[in-house]
Structure 1
Amino acid sequence: MRIKDVISLLEKEPMTAREICNALQIDPPQEKVVFEVIKRSAKILKRRGKQLLMIAPKCRKCGFQFETMNPSRCPKCKSEWIEPARFFVRP
């Protein structure tokens, strides 16, 4: 997986880490690698004068908004039904 490929996907539309895995035909267990690539791509985009933004993950049960990229459980209602973070590039 190349950073260039991830950036080109995120410039088109907001995507989750799982959607990036599917688009690049990567195994879903490698989702953690995608998060690392997203972090590195943010630095590259900053040098190019662009921004990598994140639509925060939220609990689908109570609506709690998370600050982390990949939460596992809601601290408010303890639900594991979480809408994943979406990433996109803004010029």
Structure 2
Amino acid sequence: MREADETTRQRIVDALREEPATPSELAAALDLTPNAVLRHVEHVSRSVGNSDERFLVAPPTCRACGFDDFDDLLNVPSRCPSCKSEAIDEPTFTIE
């Protein structure tokens, strides 16, 4: 299938099958905004769940205190609820 014929979500699935990626990395590779990637990833996570593959998420992590128990794993939080730091690593997605 040619790249122009693939949907954005299919391109995200193909990229995540190759290697893990953050929303910013996917956005840069696919010429999207990180928020658009997060909306697509939400749908991708549901559709992959219906197959033999697994959609995995490494949660966002606070670089200041190590907190990683965020409520919404498919989001990029702006601040840590524990220490209020804004130094948050993005979640990383992969499909295996």
Q: TM-score, normalised by structure 1?
A: 0.87
| Structure 2 counterpart SS, 1:64 | coil
Gaps of 5+ in 1: none
Over the aligned positions, Cα root-mean-square deviation in angstroms equals 1.3
The count of residues paired between Structure 1 and Structure 2 equals 87
Structure 1 moving runs of 4+ over 6 Å: none
How high is the sequence identity, in percent, across the aligned residues? 30
The answer to whether 1:64 aligns with 2:67 is: yes
| Structure 2 counterpart SS, 1:47 | coil
Report the AA paired with residue 34 of structure 1: V
The partner residue of 2:36 within 33, 36, 39 is 33
Report the AA paired with residue 58 of structure 1: T
Report the counterpart of residue 45 of structure 2 in structure 1. Answer: 42
Report the AA paired with residue 40 of structure 1: H
Q: Bigger shift: 41-50 or 57-66?
A: 41-50
Q: TM-score, normalised by structure 2?
A: 0.83
Q: 1:22 offset after TM fit, Å?
A: 0.7
Report the counterpart of residue 88 of structure 1 in structure 2. Answer: 94
